[in-house]
Amino acid sequence: MKRRNFLDEVSKRVILCDGAIGTVLYSRGVYINQCFDNINLTDPKLVKEIHSAYANAGADVLQTNSFGANRFKLVKHGLVESLEAINYQAAKLARDIAGEQLYVAGSIGPLGVRIEPWGKTSREEAREAFKEQAQALMSGGADLFILETFSDLSEIEQAIAAIRECCDLPIIAEMTIDESGTSLYGASTETFTFRLDQWDADIIGVNCSVGPPAMMDALEKMVHVTKKPIIIQPNAGAPRTVEERNMYMASPEFMSEYAMRFIKSGARLVGGCCGTTPDYIKAMEKSVRMQSPRQHNFVISIPEPHEIEIEPTPRKEKSRFAAKLVAGEMVTSVEIVPPRGSDPSKTIEATRKLKEFGVDAINVPDGPRAMCRMGAQHLSIIIEQQVGIETVLHYCCRDRNLLGMQSDVMGLAAVGLRNLLIITGDPPKMGDYPDATAVFDVDAIGLTNMVNHMNHGLDLSGTQLDAPSSFHIGVGLNPGAVDIEHEVRRFEWKVDAGAEFAITQPVFDPEILLKFLPRISHIKIPIIAGIWPLVSLRNAEFMNNEVPGASVPEHYMQRMRQAQERSKEAAREEGIKIAQEAIEKSFEHVQGFQVSAPFGRVEYSMQVLSALKKFGGTIE
């Protein structure tokens, strides 16, 4: 069918879409550990039975069983080589049931990976992935495309562009929202509606995640933003966990009632998402046939983009630590691990000693080695407020989703913290709670992008903030990485994302650092060398074998063995001497040092930093 046929039909009457395929597959014994999309090949009869049930229920549009049939998701099932076959068959099975009376919508969902600026997958890679799926669906007989359950506006933009590059079939573009009507990346209903309209989607809507009431609220906003037809496809209510299973509690009658409300409020297409079955669509069909969209008697107001170009805070004004780096001066910091409890008094006492010693900042790691300690954010605030020395707060991606990260960063800006070291974070299985769940919505590159956006006054969705943040953005760097090429590429991406300085993993062998630095000489941001004073042979063995990215060369291990044979004190002195040698050999090649304080003993770090006196450093 030609594009104009479907859109003409939408202009004449309300269109009823089908409901969830996954819900029905699950009810038929296809469990979630299987690839639902591959059922097109392994049990095509079952898929056709589901399409037939929806057609008999009154659906005008059958959506293909291909929501997750992209290369990034299929590769996890070892099925990437079957991508074309799965998508072609998905469209063909729906086409066989639809005939010439119903429409087939090629279903395309998110890729399941973060794309730039939030992840390492480029926009071009994302676009190509969407294109190969769209081409296979089109070959199988799709009349139109439905982009479902997208959270990231950047990703759905690439999906729309991909389809436009390979055909002119109609595109339905649907975002998913929370109860407040905001996308999971923080875009308001008005914002994503306007963007989808601007990017030439033919039909705009929302689906999944929430039930009818929240979608009604979203619809009432959308009709004021776009003149395009609107589609609403809610879940069968919000899911509730009953005996470890998600159950959707809204009845078909409830969904039918809301379908009537959707139509009266301006929706031209309605359907169902998770939890809905042919019974729900059959009930909704009565509402569709009874109602027609109301004629709007108000003026539709499409907001014009009014983004204000905000100049970020000049780097030298972000913090004292930043000012010294901008001036080309040597900086020093000491890393102090948060206490295993709620009493920071010993940490505060140690921090005061370091301030008197002349250290520029205190590094506060965020749950190092995935162990449960006092929150790094809270300890950083206490240190800055009670001691008056700046902190470099390590902020990791492990424990928070994207919305939580944005909230944290806004709060940190409000209390005056300025120096952030953004890291991906150690996985929970390394620490005390191996069964704890990690989030990892983004890695350090994506988080750097997010903070840089906020420094420019924008949130994840591109929405203007009431005020920009002023963070001095640092990132991690591992000169001893196994795959140096990959490490260099990731560092380049971090700097492109907005990194302004870098702190290395502990450098035990300065030769490794000196060999690595020429590989990144084209990247013009300050490098601060991480130094860890070994305090015993056991400590050296631990660093060498159990700390990712750390490597103590054999000749230093031998020195520690010999010293340990003499005494514990001799081993500690030897470890401090090795750290001092690292500073002396690296001094002319870096712009600062971060020295760790093993077991909280800041006197060890001060002994190491005393090596700077030879170079006329500012250490007292």
Shared-domain flag, residues 406 and 357: yes
Shared-domain flag, residues 281 and 383: no
**207 part of a folded domain:** yes
Tell me which range, 106-110, 441-445, 600-604, is most confidently predicted by mean pLDDT: 106-110
**313 part of a folded domain:** no
User: What percentage of the chain reaches a pLDDT higher than 70?
Assistant: 89
Least-confidence region, from 12-26, 184-198, 288-302, 429-443:
429-443
Give the residue from 228, 258, 290 where a domain finishes: 290
297: three-class secondary structure by DSSP: coil
Residue keyed to tokens 């619809």: 219
> Which pLDDT band, with edges at 50, 70 and 90, does 433 fall under?
very low
| Tally of domains in the chain | 2
Q: What angle do CA 39, 40, 42 make, to 5 degrees?
A: 55
Shared-domain flag, residues 284 and 347: no
Shared-domain flag, residues 119 and 193: yes
**323 part of a folded domain:** no
**604 part of a folded domain:** yes
Least-confidence region, from 381-395, 439-453, 600-614:
439-453
Least-confidence region, from 157-171, 200-214, 417-431:
417-431
Q: Is 245's pLDDT higher than 70?
A: no
Report residue 200 as tokens: 């030439």
Give the residue from 265, 290, 315 where a domain finishes: 290
User: Per-residue pLDDT tens for 524-540?
Assistant: 999 999 998 998 999 88
Cα 12 to Cα 75: distance, rounded to the nearest angstrom: 42
Greater pLDDT, 340 or 163: 163
User: Per-residue pLDDT tens for 559-578?
Assistant: 999 999 999 999 999 999 99
Section 342-366 average pLDDT: 94
Domain that holds residue 225: 3-290
Shared-domain flag, residues 273 and 410: no
Average pLDDT, the chain: 88
Shared-domain flag, residues 229 and 336: no
**303 part of a folded domain:** no
Shared-domain flag, residues 493 and 560: yes
Shared-domain flag, residues 211 and 158: yes
**298 part of a folded domain:** no
> Which pLDDT band, with edges at 50, 70 and 90, does 358 fall under?
very high
DSSP codes of every residue in 238-266 = SEEEETTEEEE---HHHHHHHHHHHHHTT
User: What percentage of the chain reaches a pLDDT higher than 90?
Assistant: 66
Section 114-124 average pLDDT: 85
CATH code for the domain in which residue 56 is found: 3.20.20.330
CATH code for the domain in which residue 528 is found: 3.20.20.220
pLDDT value at position 427?
57
Strands 331-335 and 61-63: unpaired
Longest dimension (CA), the chain: 92
> Which pLDDT band, with edges at 50, 70 and 90, does 294 fall under?
very low
Shared-domain flag, residues 272 and 368: no
Give the residue from 240, 261, 290 where a domain finishes: 290
**369 part of a folded domain:** yes
The residues, ordered by sequence, that sit 6+ positions from 470 with a Cβ below 8 Å of its Cβ are 312, 313, 317, 318, 413, 418, 455
pLDDT value at position 247?
53
